Amino acid sequence: MMNVRLACVLLSLLLAPGSPALAGPPEEMIAPPSFETTVEVNVVNVDVRVTDASGQPVRGLGKRDFDLYEDGKRVDISNFAAVERGLSGRAAADPGVAGKPPEPAAGGDEGTPAQTAEDAWTLVVYVDNFDIHPGSRTRALRQLRDFLDRQLAPGDRVMLVTYDQGLKVRLPFTSDSKAIGEALTAMEGLASHGAGIDLQRQQALREIMTIQEAAVINPKPNPCPLSIVGPARDFAHARRDEVLRTLGALTVLVNSLSGVPGRKALLHVSDGIPSVPGQEVFQFLAEICGGGAGTAGIGRQSAVNGNNNAPEAAGDVEEGERRHVPARAPNLDPMAVYDAEYLGPTAYKASSQAPIEAASYNVEKELDALVGHANAHRVTLYTLQASGAERPAASEAGMGPEDRLFQFASIETAQRTSLQGSLTALAAGTGGRAILDVNELKPELARMQEDFASYYSLGFVPEHKEGGGEHRLEVRVKRRGVHLRYRESYRDKPVLERAVDRTLAALFYGIEDNPLKIDWQAGEQTPNPDGSFAVPVHLRIPLAKVAVLRGDGVYEGNLRALVATRGADGRMSPVRQVPVLIRIPHKEVLTALGQFYVYTLTLQLPPGEQRVAVGLRDDVSATASYLSRAVTVGTQSASARP
């Protein structure tokens, strides 16, 4: 944990220009001080992908073709752009001909500001090594590597991240296709846990069958005892804990991307995250103790306790045939399918209880929360089921002579529905795509890239004040037979939260932006009794870049400094902030604006390599700078470098 001691070195503005504390004028000559506060306008942008029945982008729509709603109330679209890669606004809709200006887009967007800067593609490839099998991962990564090698354009950025019960950045943001390819190849050899989950599931199924066998061969047979549900509960509980850790890690990554500027896509690669952990095991219970309703009795025998008639021998029957056998009939078959509804109070009523218990382990709430985070941070989630069109492992679990019991079609359907449900929810809620049951991935990856090359950007100014609340979004288009994808909600982010996000982006990814032209240097380190070091960081702020307001005898600037650190072991400090108030006497303003204001932050850091991120926000002009440096701690004089 970082301890920050902040000290302001307020330099006298009357010092001679040759004083070492004050440097000469900045390169850019100063302008007269500003006397007005900049008013920030919070514009919410909604990117809308419009496709036809064949999945192709629909072009040529204009501002008047769209209706935008916030929390069910129609809002005015203040900003509109029909974006093509490298084009925007009217030019995107109608490039025109030589010597003739382009015509307005269909529907008209007269007087609408158009976006002019080309948006680069920012892609995060997130490989969930916990919920994946090596074979499916290799197939997916090789196709992804080939695609990126051919399709990555100048300015596009890709970052590779894995989840191995912990987040690991395998390759920071880069446009180097060779480095991306090498990193993806290396990721093919990483350990994965998919096979381990299969073994846990098989163990749960074996335990269920062991309990059933003991209950049936008992001198007083009691098929489907209440204890038979225990292994299903244990598996579902453990699996749910694993899923929550997975979603938690994904949330951390999404949150960290908030400060990354521009439009961001996160491609989640896995065999699927179960939306109802353990559902397939509960479905197995519903089959063997619920009368086999899902498959019309695919087992060798279907036994029920009807009206306690005379016992009837339990012999082999044709598949699908229903045989009524009293619960206490001798020589009951543990491989039979029983209907526990007729077996009395000591039996687990699987047909009615198993679906309810399975639903109690669902992670729908956590999935919705992750979608909300992604939408708040303008991260579009794309989900890729690496297993493709293969059958889930549950239906192929080897259990020796009991194999046939695990071929219930309903078990495979339950597992596939659970694995794909979460992937669909994450993609649909953020305006992305879910790539499911596909072995040839390149066409789907091309569609994902096309989403960021062709879309409509709608902007509006909310009437309510910023307060951190979440708001629903709805977009309608006056065109029949089209499909819309867009983020379904957004969250008001206060100014300070946005500044914290950008500081973290500098800390995690080295993404810098420095319109204030600040610089900083680390000074002499001082050892502390506890083994840490006091490291002073001197911020040099050109006063010509600071907006000031005229006050009583002084000009005042209002800045805010933010700082966070991260060690080589991944441990990081919380983002700390302090106000920085600058006061310049009226008579000294012209001299002062040619100087630097120096502000010192003293950081208490452990020895070793540390990454330090500093944000400095001018609250008057709403301008902010974000810098990141590596600092070696433990030497007499700290060394800072990008």
**Confidence band of 41 (pLDDT split at 50, 70, 90):** low
584 falls within a domain: yes
| Whole-number Å distance between alpha carbons of 185 and 187 | 5
Q: Select the more confidently predicted residue: 302 or 82.
A: 82
Lowest mean pLDDT among 9-23, 69-83, 146-160: 9-23
In this prediction, residue 301 carries a pLDDT of 41
In 289-378, beta strands by DSSP E: 302-303, 337-338
Residue 506 DSSP SS3: helix
Same structural domain, 467 and 584: no
Same structural domain, 467 and 578: no
Cβ atoms of 539 and 627 closer than 8 Å: no
In this prediction, residue 228 carries a pLDDT of 94
Same structural domain, 477 and 606: no
Same structural domain, 90 and 105: yes
71 falls within a domain: yes
In this prediction, residue 401 carries a pLDDT of 47
- What average pLDDT does this structure show over 561-582? 87
**Confidence band of 568 (pLDDT split at 50, 70, 90):** confident
In this prediction, residue 484 carries a pLDDT of 93
pLDDT at 327 over 80: no
In this prediction, residue 4 carries a pLDDT of 44
Residue 338 DSSP SS3: strand
Q: Interior CA angle at 122 toward 118 and 127, to 5°?
A: 160
Cβ atoms within 10 Å of 341's Cβ, excluding its own: 17
Q: How many residues does the chain have?
A: 642
Buried/exposed 189-211: b ≥16 CB within 10 Å, e otherwise: eeebbbeebbebbbebbebbbeb
534 falls within a domain: yes
pLDDT digits (tens, 9 = 90+) for 266-293: 999 999 999 999 999 999 999 888 876 5
- What average pLDDT does this structure show over 38-58? 80
Cβ atoms of 633 and 533 closer than 8 Å: yes
In this prediction, residue 91 carries a pLDDT of 36
With helix as H, strand as E and coil as C, how does 542-591 read? EHHHCCCEECCCEEEEEEEEEEEEEECCCCECCCEEEEEEEEEEHHHHHH
Same structural domain, 521 and 617: yes
| Whole-number Å distance between alpha carbons of 149 and 473 | 36
Same structural domain, 474 and 524: no
User: At residue 220, what is the residue type?
Assistant: K
- What average pLDDT does this structure show over 82-89? 62
> 112 is in which domain, residue-wise?
44-119+452-491
In this prediction, residue 290 carries a pLDDT of 83
- What average pLDDT does this structure show over 511-516? 90
Q: Select the more confidently predicted residue: 468 or 535.
A: 535
In this prediction, residue 127 carries a pLDDT of 96
pLDDT at 571 over 60: yes
| Whole-number Å distance between alpha carbons of 160 and 173 | 8
Lowest mean pLDDT among 49-53, 302-306, 421-425, 479-483: 302-306
* 285 phi/psi in degrees, rounded to 5: -60, -40
| Whole-number Å distance between alpha carbons of 248 and 242 | 10
- Tokens 């943001």 belong to which residue? 173
| Whole-number Å distance between alpha carbons of 419 and 189 | 24
Highest mean pLDDT: which range of 284-293, 364-373, 393-402, 544-553: 364-373
In this prediction, residue 134 carries a pLDDT of 94
Same structural domain, 21 and 108: no
Residue 395 tokens read as 């239906």
**Confidence band of 328 (pLDDT split at 50, 70, 90):** very low
Cβ atoms of 342 and 327 closer than 8 Å: yes
Q: What is the end-to-end Cα distance of the chain in Å, rounded?
A: 22
**Confidence band of 592 (pLDDT split at 50, 70, 90):** confident
In this prediction, residue 382 carries a pLDDT of 95
Cβ atoms of 169 and 161 closer than 8 Å: yes
Same structural domain, 627 and 508: yes
pLDDT digits (tens, 9 = 90+) for 109-145: 433 333 333 456 789 999 999 999 999 999 999 999 9
State how many domains the chain has.
2
Same structural domain, 609 and 625: yes
| Whole-number Å distance between alpha carbons of 383 and 352 | 33
In this prediction, residue 591 carries a pLDDT of 81
Same structural domain, 52 and 11: no
In this prediction, residue 409 carries a pLDDT of 82
Residue 412 DSSP SS3: helix
**Confidence band of 322 (pLDDT split at 50, 70, 90):** very low
Cβ atoms of 1 and 610 closer than 8 Å: no
**Domain-ending residue, one of 438, 463, 491:** 491
| Whole-number Å distance between alpha carbons of 297 and 312 | 18
543 falls within a domain: yes
Share of the chain above pLDDT 70, in %: 76
**Confidence band of 185 (pLDDT split at 50, 70, 90):** very high
Same structural domain, 18 and 114: no
In this prediction, residue 391 carries a pLDDT of 66
pLDDT at 544 over 80: yes
- What average pLDDT does this structure show over 503-523? 89
With helix as H, strand as E and coil as C, how does 49-118 read? EEECCCCCECCCCCHHHEEEEECCEEECCCEEEEEECCECHHHHHCCCECCECCCCCCCCCCCCCCCCCC
570 falls within a domain: yes
Share of the chain above pLDDT 90, in %: 42
- What average pLDDT does this structure show over 567-578? 84
**Confidence band of 464 (pLDDT split at 50, 70, 90):** confident
Same structural domain, 486 and 529: no
**Confidence band of 40 (pLDDT split at 50, 70, 90):** low
Any residues with CB less than 8 A from the CB of 303 and at least 6 apart, and which? Answer: 223, 314, 323, 324, 325, 327, 329, 332, 333, 336, 337, 338, 339
* 587 phi/psi in degrees, rounded to 5: -75, -15
Lowest mean pLDDT among 112-126, 186-200, 607-621: 112-126
SS3 content of the chain, % helix, strand, coil (to 5): 30, 30, 40
- What average pLDDT does this structure show over 347-363? 93
**Confidence band of 31 (pLDDT split at 50, 70, 90):** very low
pLDDT at 580 over 60: yes
Buried/exposed 392-429: b ≥16 CB within 10 Å, e otherwise: bbbbebeeeebeebbebebbbebbbbbbbbbbbbbbbb
CA distances from 120 to 84, 155, 449 (A): 12, 6, 11
**Confidence band of 530 (pLDDT split at 50, 70, 90):** very high
- What average pLDDT does this structure show over 183-192? 95
* 483 phi/psi in degrees, rounded to 5: -120, 135
- What average pLDDT does this structure show over 472-482? 92
pLDDT at 566 over 60: yes
213 falls within a domain: no
Q: Select the more confidently predicted residue: 22 or 467.
A: 467
pLDDT digits (tens, 9 = 90+) for 374-418: 988 889 999 999 998 876 654 444 445 455 566 678 888 899 999
In this prediction, residue 316 carries a pLDDT of 38
614 falls within a domain: yes
Q: Select the more confidently predicted residue: 330 or 363.
A: 363
Residue 321 DSSP SS3: coil
pLDDT digits (tens, 9 = 90+) for 215-272: 888 888 888 999 999 999 999 999 999 999 999 999 988 888 888 877 889 999 999 9
Short-list 402, 370, 373, 443, CA closest to 147: 443
| Whole-number Å distance between alpha carbons of 79 and 95 | 20
pLDDT at 577 over 50: yes
In this prediction, residue 119 carries a pLDDT of 55
In this prediction, residue 156 carries a pLDDT of 84
**Domain-ending residue, one of 464, 491, 518:** 491
pLDDT at 294 over 60: no
pLDDT at 442 over 70: yes
Lowest mean pLDDT among 95-109, 279-293, 527-541: 95-109
**Domain-ending residue, one of 491, 516, 550:** 491
pLDDT at 312 over 50: no
78 falls within a domain: yes
| Whole-number Å distance between alpha carbons of 62 and 64 | 5
pLDDT at 488 over 70: yes
| Whole-number Å distance between alpha carbons of 585 and 589 | 6
Q: How large is the C-alpha radius of gyration of the chain?
A: 31
